[in-house]
Amino acid sequence: MMQTIAWITTLIFILFIAIVFGWVVIQSKEKREYTAIMTKWYKTRKVYGITLVALLIIFSIYTLRELPYNAPAYGKGENPTIVQTEAMQFGWNIDVTEFSVGEQVEFHVTSADVTHGFGLYDEDMNLLEQTQAMPEYTNIVYYTFEEPGTYKILCLEYCGVGHHVMDTEIVVN
């Protein structure tokens, strides 16, 4: 939806600039006093600049109001399953690996040694959620398992020679 709006807005501005450019080319063939034209276009440039800045501010506020994108997927009064997830070279220490369909989960992700990447993948290897696993810091990933199956957690940050074997599985019934 947002990409479509941005695409249409971009096309409208490109069309507007093309029209102005065409008008300037047509008008440039006429001989006129330069001072009047300069005064007029300084005013036009000022209005165009202010309008552009105002639109950028409005679009920024509109698109950024959804932050944070990684908000809890559950409401007040609901108790999610909290999963302590610790990355270490070259594996994962996860205290819960079996979940039910519809279960709301908070992964508390940290690292015991170096920076790792926490990537939660479905059976088709589509990335569902991701965050950084950093020493002495805990990131929280919220996820609700909607489908049964075997999910994988892979490291997304190169962490050494055994990086390629750093994966684990989660089962959802």
Compute the mean pLDDT over every residue in the chain, rounded to the nearest whole number.
89
pTM: 0.60
Residue type at position 69:
Y
**55-91: burial string, b at 16+ Cβ within 10 Å, e else:** eeeeeeeeeeeeeeeeeeeeeeeeebeebebbbbbbe
- The pLDDT assigned to 69 comes to 63
- Work out the pLDDT band at 32, boundaries 50, 70, 90: low
Q: How do the domains of the chain map onto residue ranges?
A: 2-64, 81-172
Assess whether pLDDT exceeds 80 at residue 21: yes
Instruction: Average the pLDDT over each of 35-44, 82-91, 144-153 and give the range with the smallest value.
Output: 35-44
- Residue 14 phi/psi, 5-degree rounding, is -65, -45
- The pLDDT assigned to 57 comes to 92
Assess whether pLDDT exceeds 80 at residue 73: no
Q: Which CATH architecture has domain 81-172?
A: Sandwich (2.60)
Report the alpha-carbon distance of residue 13 to residue 3 in Å, rounded.
Answer: 15
- The pLDDT assigned to 162 comes to 92
- Work out the pLDDT band at 64, boundaries 50, 70, 90: confident
- The pLDDT assigned to 60 comes to 87
CB contact at 8 A, 121 and 53: no
